[in-house]
């Protein structure tokens, strides 16, 4: 049986991505980022992101076709991120995908980009590792999922009750005047710091919180604690603040993920999303 040839489009935030796959084999992966345009604003600006997607879409599709050596008429289907994400940004991708599908008379599949974060990791393994616990941490989402079947059976065990982990990294990076995006910059700065220098709070980890929020996250209190520390400590050591903040985030993420594995009896853990690139989380 011939494996399907699919072109996928992703525009949920600040990157325009076009990929072409045959089954599990990646033939092209083109990414155009507008992060430098957002950096001067200290965060992603939806209108700027939408305009960047419009400009990058056709060149990205052309590059993907050239890299893969595939003709549009050879495609079996089109897939596109349908959500969640920035509404204007998503609209650009969905419109482009819909236009291609109509012009080529091919089926169009809407994809949840959070499930896709997990699917990418699962698809890289030769062996099927279902069920698995997935820690999904990005700029807009922080969740613990039980993945029984990536296509139809994903159970949410917990999620953030306020801010996402990636959002917290961006906020603290702005306070420390490190720039944007905050995750990689704090990660780099923390390497020169002492993660035990400052005991920042770990949200929703106290026994009184566990009954209702066993696998939920909260990072708003941590952001406030760091902000107050900086205001009260003019001579603070920036690297120590970065390291201590990062340690507080990673500590909570790992505590709750490991607990989820133990309580469900599932011995497989996938860490996905932008924050998964954090070196402390990966060690």
Domain-wise residue ranges, the chain = 5-119, 127-282
Strands (E), the chain: 5-10, 15-22, 25-33, 77-83, 108-112, 132-137, 142-149, 153-159, 269-272
Does 5-119 carry CATH code 3.30.420.40? yes
Count, residues in the chain: 283
β-pair type (269-272, 25-33): unpaired
Whole-angstrom Cα distance, residue 31 to residue 60?
7
Whole-angstrom Cα distance, residue 30 to residue 132?
29
**What is the reported pLDDT for 37?**
83
The mean pLDDT value for 49-76 works out to 96
> Quick one: 127-282 is in which CATH superfamily?
ATPase, nucleotide binding domain (3.30.420.40)
Per-residue model confidence as pLDDT tens digits over 150-169: 778 889 999 999 999 999 99
Check for a shared fold between 5-119 and 127-282. yes
Residue 40 has pLDDT above 90, yes or no: no
Asked whether 218 and 102 are in contact (CB, 8 A), the reply is no
Tokens of 36: 């430098």
**What is the reported pLDDT for 53?**
96
Whole-angstrom Cα distance, residue 166 to residue 251?
15
204: left (phi over 0), alpha (psi -120 to 50) or beta: left
Tokens of 155: 């159970």
What's the number of CA atoms in the CB half-sphere (13 Å) around residue 120?
Answer: 16
Which residues make beta-bridge pairs with 111? 81
Per-residue model confidence as pLDDT tens digits over 91-122: 999 999 999 999 999 999 999 888 888 888 77
SS3 145: strand
This prediction has a pTM of 0.84
Per-residue model confidence as pLDDT tens digits over 201-214: 999 998 888 778 99
Q: What is the DSSP letter of 219?
A: -
């Amino acid at each position: 049986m011939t494996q399907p040839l699919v072109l996928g489009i992703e525009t949920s935030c600040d990157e325009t991505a076009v990929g072409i796959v045959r089954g599990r084999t990646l033939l092209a992966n083109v990414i155009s980022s507008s992060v430098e345009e957002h950096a001067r604003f200290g965060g992603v600006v939806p209108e700027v992101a939408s305009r960047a997607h419009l400009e990058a879409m056709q060149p990205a599709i052309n590059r993907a076709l050239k890299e893969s050596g595939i003709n549009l008429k050879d495609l079996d289907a089109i897939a596109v991120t349908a959500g969640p994400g920035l509404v204007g940004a998503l609209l650009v991708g969905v419109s482009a995908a819909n236009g291609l599908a109509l012009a080529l008379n091919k089926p169009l599949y809407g994809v949840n980009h959070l499930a896709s974060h997990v699917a990418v990791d699962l698809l890289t393994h030769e062996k099927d590792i279902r069920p698995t616990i997935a820690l999904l941490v990005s700029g807009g989402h922080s969740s613990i999922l039980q993945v029984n079947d990536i296509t139809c059976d994903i159970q949410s065990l917990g999620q953030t009750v306020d801010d996402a982990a990636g959002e917290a990294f961006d906020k603290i990076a702005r306070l420390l005047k490190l720039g944007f995006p905050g995750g990689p910059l704090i990660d780099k700065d923390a390497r020169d710091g002492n993660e035990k220098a400052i005991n920042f709070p770990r949200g929703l980890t106290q026994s009184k919180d566990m009954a209702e929020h066993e696998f939920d996250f909260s990072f708003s209190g941590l952001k406030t604690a760091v902000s107050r520390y900086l205001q009260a400590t003019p001579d603070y050591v920036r690297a120590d603040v970065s390291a201590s903040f990062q340690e507080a985030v990673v500590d909570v993420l790992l505590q709750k993920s490991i607990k989820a594995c133990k309580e469900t009896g599932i011995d497989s853990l996938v860490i996905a999303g932008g924050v998964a690139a954090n070196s402390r989380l990966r060690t």
